[in-house]
Every structure is written in structure tokens, then in C-alpha cells.
Amino acid sequence: MPSQPSAKKNKPELNKSTYKTSKLIKMKTILTIFFLAITVMTSFAQDKSDTTKHLTFKGVPIDGTLNDYVYKMKKSGFTLIGTEDGVAMLKGDFAAYKDCIIGVATLKQKDLVSKITVIFPEGETWSSLSSNYYNLKELLTEKYGDPSEIVEKFDSYSEPKNDNSKMHEVGMNNCKYYTTFEIENGSIQLSIENVGFSKSYVILSYFDKMNSKIIREKALDDL
């Protein structure tokens, strides 16, 4: 009989440990997806215009320190998940989609926000994944005009014919779907990304021209 209370006392501790492990795995997955989205985008090395305004996200200029920007996002209704490696991750509703993950990125050596990435809810089928992609593409085109670049193809030996085969190609990293909008103060890119066969998402990334240029110049100074 004395051993039973001890077993009950240990159970919540086990659940707490399992919850922490699950949360850590989720954070790592989000970070992986976030950095994948960032590396897809080209640099601003060829930009020649002298812009004095920042690209905005949810009406907030993409500028300032990470803490300041997170504060503004929290005022807009987002909840902070955590901060790691110069990236803050928040959760909230965006463009009529529930429970999106918002990543706010800086260069760790220079605490200056330059990139915002939205990770939309996971797509478990090609029909749901592509539906999200095309719906957002239509909305972005309505707001920003025609895209500057569109790539929508599967790099496979033959064109996949059904939902399952298309999702297989997504898991094999053979799905090349992205649309880029070049606007006065930066670039916006919509894409389909994945982490192996386990997770697939539609990603929307905002790159501020002015701060990306500042960060690039700092990197050149270090070389």
C-alpha cells in the first residue's frame, strides 16, 4: 500500500518530461522549416533602388530589435513560443488561417529584424497543401500584382498522377513550388516546404530590402 502514492507522485513528473521533449522536438522542426524557407530566397545584391521605407508585416515595419518586434507582434495578438539562435517564434491567426507559426529572424551579430516567415498549418495531403498554396497565391497577386517569378513543377522522372504520388515527391524534396513577388521595399515568397516525409507546409516569407542590405554589408565587412 505505501508504494501506491509514490507511483502516483511520479506519474505527473513523467508526463511533464514527455511534454517538454515533445515541445523541444516541435521547436526544432519549426526552426528547420524556418531556415529552409530563408535559404530559398535570393539575396538583395542586385537591388539598385534607394528605398527609404521598410516592408511591413501586419502593418508593422520589418525593423528594430528582436525584442521590440516581438512586443509589437504580441500586441497584434500573437503568442510567443520561444526564442533560439536569433529567431523568435510566435503563434496566432494569419490570413484567415488558424494557429500559424510566425518566425522573426535577425542576424545574431546584429540584432536587427530583416525577415518574417509564416508557417501555415501542416498539409497531410497534396490536395490540402496545394489548395493552401494556390489560395494564398491568388490573394498575394490581388494585393501586389503579377509575380516576378513562378516555379511549379516536380523534379521527377515522370509527372506524379495522384495525391499519394505527389506527396511522395514532396517528401523526396522533388516538389519545386514557389512564387516570388518583388516590390519596392523588399520581396515576398510563397513556397511549399517539407521536413522529409513527416511534415509538409506552405511557407510565406517577407524579406525587407533595407535591413537585408545592412546585414549583407556587415557580412562583407567581416570578410
Q: What is the pLDDT of residues 212-222, one digit of tens each?
A: 877 777 767 77
- Torsional sign, CA 32, 33, 37, 38: negative
**13: pLDDT strictly greater than 50:** no
Instruction: Give the pLDDT score at 216.
Output: 74
Q: What element of type H or E holds 67?
A: helix 66-75
Q: Which residue has the cell 513523467?
A: 14
Mean pLDDT within 132-136: 97
**19: pLDDT strictly greater than 60:** no
- Binning pLDDT at 50, 70 and 90, where does residue 36 land? low
Alpha-carbon span 205 to 188, nearest angstrom:
6
**24: pLDDT strictly greater than 60:** no
Percentage of the chain beyond pLDDT 70 is: 74
Average pLDDT, the chain: 81
**120: pLDDT strictly greater than 50:** yes
The three cell numbers of residue 223 are 570578410
Instruction: Give the pLDDT score at 108.
Output: 65
Question: Collapsing DSSP states into helix, strand and coil, what is residue 194?
Answer: strand
Nearest of 56, 182, 63, 181 to residue 191 by alpha carbon? 181
- For residues 202 and 136, is the Cβ–Cβ distance under 8 A? yes
**25: pLDDT strictly greater than 90:** no
Mean pLDDT within 113-121: 93
Instruction: Give the pLDDT score at 23.
Output: 52
What is the pTM (predicted TM-score) of this model?
0.78
Alpha-carbon span 68 to 75, nearest angstrom:
11
Higher pLDDT, 73 or 50: 73
- For residues 184 and 196, is the Cβ–Cβ distance under 8 A? no
Q: Which residue has the cell 516541435?
A: 26
Alpha-carbon span 134 to 115, nearest angstrom:
22
